[in-house]
Amino acid sequence: MKKIILNSFVFSMILFSACKKETKTYLTQTETTKSTTINENLLAKEFNLNLVNNRLIFKTKSDYQKVVDNPSKEISDKFTLCLNNYSDFNSYSDFKKNKKITDKEDLFNDSYFESMLNADKIIQIGDFIYRINPKNEKVFVLSSKYENEYSDLVNENIDNENIKVYSTGDDVLDLVENNLAGKNLSLFCPEGGVGGAADGVDFTVPGTNRTSRAAVDFNRYGIYFSLFARIWPSVGGSEFVFDFNGTLGYIHYKVRCGATADYGLITGGNQNQSSEQRFQSYQGSTNLTNYFFAFTPRINSASPALSRMVVIRKNW
C-alpha cells in the first residue's frame, strides 16, 4: 500500500512539474494580448501619447516637439515603434498607401509626419485638434472641447465659428497657444517665416542607361516643417552619396527666432537598389526665416553625378 501511495506521489510531482514548465513556456491568447498592451502603454506613456477614436493625442505641445524638433535617431526610431504598436491605428500614411495616393496628388511627401496623422489628416496636440491640407496650404483647428463637431473639421466647414484657419506657413502651434487667430506672428516674434521650395533634376547614371532623380525640398505644414535632400536610384543602380563640401554643396538655415545652422564638408548616405534615400537637414514645429540648401550626388564615392548642384534658397 505504501508503495502505491509513493508511486502516486511521484507521478503527481512529475505531472505538476510538467504543467509548471508548460505554463512558463507558453502564453495564452489573453496573456499575449495583455503583454502587447503593456508594451504599448509603456512606450505611449514615455511619449505622453494616447489614441482615442483613431486620433493620436499628445498631452502637451512640448511632448509633440520632442518627436519632431530635430529628434535623435534613437527617439525617432522609438517613436516609430510606439506608433507601430498601435496595431489598430489607421494612419494617413497607411490610408495613402492603401488608396495608392501619390505625393503629387496630395502634396505630402514626409512619411514620418504622415504616420502621425490619422486617415482624416488630423492630429491632436494639447487641447486642440489640427487638420492639415497642404494642397490649399491651410491648417484647420478645433478646440477639443468641441470634438463632437469633428465632422465639421474633417469637412473644413469654416461656417462653424469654432473652427479657426491658418496658413501652412504660419507657426500654427504658437498662434493657437497664444490665441492669435488671424493675427501676425510678429506680435511676439519679429522674424517672418519663409515659403516652401523644391528643385529636382533627372540624370543618367554615368556608364549606364539608367535614369535617377535628385531633389531638395522645404515643406511647410503649419505644425511641421522639413528641409531635406533625396535621391531615387534606378533599379539595380549604383550607390549614391549626398555631397556637401563647399564647392559641390552647402547647407545653411535659420530657425524663426531660433538658432542658425551652417554646415558643409560632409557626406551622407550609401544606398543602392530602387528605394528613395533622404538626407534630413531640418525638421521641426517652427518655420525657418531663411535657408540655402544645395548638394550634388556622387556615385560610389567617386565623381559627381551631375554637372550642376540641386539647390533651393530663400532670403539668403
Residue 239: give its domain's CATH number.
2.60.40
pLDDT tier, 180 (very low <50, low <70, confident <90, very high otherwise)? low
Name residues whose C-beta falls within 8 Å of residue 33's C-beta, 6 or more positions apart in sequence: none
pLDDT the model gives residue 6: 43
Residues 204 and 175 occupy one common structural domain: no
With a pLDDT cut of 90, the percent of the chain lying above it is: 59
What sign for the dihedral angle of Cα 108, 109, 113, 119? positive
Say if residue 202 is in the same domain as residue 304.
yes
In a shared domain, residues 266 and 146: no
Q: Residue 220 above 70 pLDDT?
A: yes
Contact in structure between 215 and 200 (CB atoms under 8 Å): yes
pLDDT at 312 over 70: yes
C-alpha 229/C-alpha 268 separation (Å) is 10
Let me know whether 179 and 203 are in one domain: no
80 occurs within a structural domain? yes
**3 within domain boundaries:** no
Q: Are residues 170 and 201 in the same domain?
A: no
**pLDDT classification of 190: cutoffs 50, 70, 90:** confident
The domain in which residue 64 lies consists of 49-183
Q: At what angle do helices 29-46 and 73-85 cross, to 10 degrees?
A: 140
Q: Are residues 114 and 238 in the same domain?
A: no
Q: Does 190 fall in a domain?
A: no
Is residue 206 assigned to a domain? yes
Last residue of a domain, one of 120, 155, 183: 183
**Residue 261 belongs to some domain of the structure:** yes
Q: Given a cut of 50, is residue 75 above it in pLDDT?
A: yes
Are 104 and 177 part of one and the same domain?
yes
- Residues 83, 147, single domain; the answer is yes
Q: What is the mean pLDDT of residues 170-184?
A: 77
pLDDT above 50 for 111: yes
Same domain, 79 and 115: yes
Of 157, 183, 209, the last residue of a domain is 183
Q: Give tens-digit pLDDT for 266-306.
A: 777 655 555 778 889 999 999 999 999 999 888 766 678 78
Q: Which set of grid coordinates corresponds to residue 298? A: 556622387
Residues 87 and 179 in one domain: yes
What is the spatial distance between Cα 221 and Cα 106, in angstroms, rounded to a whole number?
Answer: 12
Look at 8 and 223; give whichever has higher pLDDT.
223
What is the count of structural domains for the chain?
2
State whether 121 and 232 are in the same domain. no
pLDDT band for position 248 (50/70/90)?
A: confident
Distance CA 158, CA 155 (A): 9
* Inside any domain, residue 12: no
Q: What is the pLDDT of residue 35?
A: 37
Neighbouring-strand partners of residue 128: 125, 143
Mean pLDDT, the chain, whole residue set? 83
Determine contact, residues 310/199, Cβ cutoff 8 Å.
yes
Q: Give per-residue pLDDT as tens, 153-174.
A: 999 999 999 999 999 999 999 9
Question: Quick one: 204 and 170 in the same domain?
Answer: no
Q: Is 26 among the domain residues? A: no
> Which of the residue ranges 32-46, 87-101, 260-274 would you say has the lowest mean pLDDT?
32-46
